[in-house]
Structure 1
């Protein structure tokens, strides 16, 4: 199957086969894909939490508007953003560039200082909005990689973020949950698997100028 066929195969899985689990190899592909996701400036202000434990996920169902994919999937991926972006985050990023690429400070410092100023000018709400945009990029990337790897997934915004943060103690780590992606393998009796995709005609959704 080519990439277009894979994307046609993909759908928002409503019912997962609880007997099938992702291998460590497949899980590592998703971890790597998340880490390689493009982010603005390359500043990674997002984190991904991977949960396999069924008891923990069972406690999250009530905070997910009783959507059972959270429990039935092989794993639950939670994309989080930082509470705030500060000077330390920017410095750590540029120190990492220096370490990996051996780029001298005289080249990096102007960019470092500009990014520090930019983040300081943003309110906390603006910082979080900026980070949430990066989270959506990661979600799209993960969904595409899942399709390529024949992994089923279901992107979810419908959950109570504050409750997730409390149950998982994410607030103690300076994180806020913003998006969910249960991953695994579709159940044979998930009727949504056989539904035809509903999309605009490509001439309506794509404009050529």
Structure 2
């Protein structure tokens, strides 16, 4: 299949085959795709939990509006943001650039200082909102990668983030959950798999100038 055919194949999977599991190689592709997601300035203020443990996921159903995908899927991805962005985060980014590219600090320092000032001018809430936008970029990227790899997925905003944070002790890690996505393989009797896609026409959704 070409990319468009893969995207037509994907849908928000409502029922997973609980007996089918992703191979370690597939899980590694998902992790690498997440890490390669474009983020603003390359400042990766997002993290991803990859949850295979069924006992943990069973406890998440009641905090996910009863959506059993969180349990029945092969794995559950939980996209998180940092609860704050500090000068240290900016320094870590530019130190990593210097280490990987051997770029002179004379060149990097003005950009380092500008990014620090930008973050300092934001409130904590604004920084979190900024990071949440990065999480949505990652979610979109993962959905496309899953489609290409023929991994079924169900992006979800419908969950109680504070409960997830408590269960995974995210506060201790300086993180907050913002999105979840069960991934695995669709059940044969998931009727939603055969539904026709409902979209605007390309002429309606795009504008050429």
TM-score (norm 2): 1.00
Which consecutive residues of structure 2, in runs of 5 or more, have no partner in the other structure?
none
Q: 2:51 maps to what in 1?
A: 51
CA distance, structure 1, for counterparts of residue 60 and residue 192 of structure 2: 24
Does residue 10 of structure 1 match 2:10? yes
SS in 1 for 2:78: strand
Q: 1:201 maps to what in 2?
A: 201
Does residue 134 of structure 1 match 2:134? yes
Q: 2:112 maps to what in 1?
A: 112
CA distance, structure 2, for counterparts of residue 19 and residue 164 of structure 1: 25
CA distance, structure 2, for counterparts of residue 121 and residue 63 of structure 1: 35
Count of matched residue pairs? 209
Does residue 172 of structure 1 match 2:172? yes
SS in 2 for 1:32: helix
Q: 2:87 maps to what in 1?
A: 87
CA deviation vs aligned residue, 1:32-75 (integer Å, no higher than 9, x gap)? 00000000000000000000000000011110011000000000
CA distance, structure 2, for counterparts of residue 34 and residue 183 of structure 1: 14
Written as runs of structure 1 = structure 2, the 5 A alignment for 1:35-46 is: 35-46=35-46
Aligned-residue offset at 1:135: 0.3
Aligned-residue offset at 1:86: 0.2
CA deviation vs aligned residue, 1:1-28 (integer Å, no higher than 9, x gap)? 0000000000000000000000000000
SS in 2 for 1:147: helix
Which consecutive residues of structure 1, in runs of 5 or more, have no partner in the other structure?
none
TM-score (norm 1): 1.00
CA RMSD of aligned residues (A): 0.4
CA deviation vs aligned residue, 1:133-179 (integer Å, no higher than 9, x gap)? 00000000000000000000000000000000001101110000000
Task: State the 4+ residue runs in structure 1 displaced beyond 4 angstroms.
Answer: none
